[in-house]
A and B are shown apart, each in its own frame.
Chain A
Amino acid sequence: MTLDWQPVLLSLRVAAAALLLVAATGTLAARAMTRRDFPGKDVLDGLLVLPLVLPPVVTGFLLLVLLGRGGPVGGFLERAFGVQLVFTVYAAVLAAAVVSFPLMYGSAKAAFQGVDRRLEDAARTLGAGEARVFFRVTLPLAWPGLVAGTTLSFARALGEFGATVMVAGNIPGETTTVPLAIFFAADAGAMRTAGAYSLLIAGASMVMVVGLNAWTRRRAPGWRRGGRPRA
């Protein structure tokens, strides 16, 4: 058996692209949701977390309906720009991003909620502007949670299958990530290939989670116990 590394490299690229999207939007959304109150906030929060509890196939199905050539978004993109999303690598990135978003959002939200507002207010009384408060006080205090969020999102994006196969299909070199390669290898009876890819994914995920735990314990002992970070 020779292992094809193409799906591995593709998975890393897709997960990295998804992570870029998710790290930015997840952090911003979490920040906004922890600092603002508005009607319907609980519902919006539920919607943002939904992909975590929804079966990925359902997420994929909704994306397919939305983005397909006959769908509202896909139809518009097709007519306006002649662009097709479904069955492209962009669809794979989007699927991975949507499914891993709640992990980033949830971790970031918990991290921001754990930041002592009095410290931010103290910085303000000392003349720091909002941007400076965010980057010099809030972000460093929330850092461990944000790192946890990015690690978990990346691991989730790397393993994404259900939504991806629905909306991105199985296109070698473009959307055939490791999970899809595993699925199709098993269908074709290439059990050794499927097993090797599975071990690879399991190993990578394990390394990420264990690494994250070790890093968190060393870096921020107070944060892990669920209390407020030590200033």
Chain B
Amino acid sequence: MPTTRTRRRLAGALALLALVAGCGRPAEREARAEPVVLTVSAASSLREAVTELAAQYEAAHPGTTVRVNLGASGALRQQIEQGARVDVFVAAARGPMDALAERGLVDPATRADLAGNALVVVVPRGSRAVREFRDLAAPRVRRVALGAPASVPAGEYALEALRGQGIAAAVEAKAVYAQNARQVLAYVESGNVDAGIVYATDAAASPRVAVAAAAPPGSHRPIVYPLAVVRSGGHPREARALAAYLRGPRARAVLLRRGFLPPPAP
């Protein structure tokens, strides 16, 4: 049997726990008092661009907060399918968006292609292991980072390009599959892999990698970033306004400045 003293101590510890656990509450209440919090789920390769656009939008619309949720397009699609409250979805490929559209989870009237991109091979700065795309199959390249093709569009595009060059099997045998496009970049930055296939914009965002080669033209489907308003968000009007802003000329200018291409013809 616990003594009175232990009991008192236990009660004290519990009270402390309750206090700590309760700390989150007032902040939540404040957030609810704010007019709108919009959540944008965006492909990880859009990190800097979407963060900048969100800040611009917030500045132009006081009272609106834009939360940015980054990840692999396939993983973000899963979150939405599992019921996550998301207002706007920007994927790095048509597939995840098509899947949500088929289930009626996005508003088809709001769908538009935001931008395009290019695929490149990056190596740690200073490395000369890769000079052209086909060098990825060379034995001196021991580890190649790719996005996990089932959930990361960058990995899917990369696999298409590798297949197109007939070196898919050779590269897959030494591939380490990353959770999103940005993790591929991080793997190359650390020097723990010899090369990785990323978007041209990812490569430009990192001073620690060098572009060694571009994916041969036409070796993969055109890269496209489709956007749509998600129905689960609960702020349809505000979400549509944000989507319109992201499709608009100011956002396009930001995307182009950050190295994204105009969206390819559908």
Residues of B within 8 A of A188 (CB): 74-75, 78, 148, 150-151
B175 touches which of A68, A171, A189 (Cβ 8 Å): A171
Mostly, the A contact residues are loop
Instruction: With A87-B176, A170-B177, A187-B72 as known contacts, state yes or no: A68 contacts B192, CB within 8 Å.
Output: yes
Instruction: With A86-B192, A87-B192, A187-B75 as known contacts, state yes or no: A170 contacts B151, CB within 8 Å.
Output: no
Residues of A within 8 A of B72 (CB): 187
CA distance A171 to B78 in the complex (A): 22
CB-based contact A186/B175 at 8 Å = no
B78 touches which of A86, A169, A186 (Cβ 8 Å): A186
In this complex, what residue of A is CB-closest to B71? Answer: A187
**B179 close to A (CB within 8 Å):** yes
**A90 close to B (CB within 8 Å):** no
**A55 close to B (CB within 8 Å):** no
Within residues 167 to 220 of chain B, which ones have a CB less than 8 A from any CB in chain A?
175-179, 187, 190-193
**A211 close to B (CB within 8 Å):** no
In this complex, what residue of A is CB-closest to B150? Answer: A188
Please give the distance in Å from B209's CB to the nearest CB on chain A: 14
CB-based contact B151/A172 at 8 Å = no
A187 touches which of B78, B81, B176, B190 (Cβ 8 Å): B78
CA distance A69 to B191 in the complex (A): 6
Interface 1/0 per residue, A110-132 and B, CB below 8 Å: 00000000000000000000000
**A84 close to B (CB within 8 Å):** yes
Instruction: With A84-B142, A184-B150, A184-B151 as known contacts, state yes or no: A169 contacts B74, CB within 8 Å.
Output: no
Instruction: With A68-B192, A169-B177 as known contacts, state yes or no: A187 contacts B143, CB within 8 Å.
Output: no
CB-based contact A87/B143 at 8 Å = yes
Within residues 114 to 170 of chain B, which ones have a CB less than 8 A from any CB in chain A?
142-143, 148, 150-151
In this complex, what residue of A is CB-closest to B75? Answer: A187
CB-based contact B148/A187 at 8 Å = yes
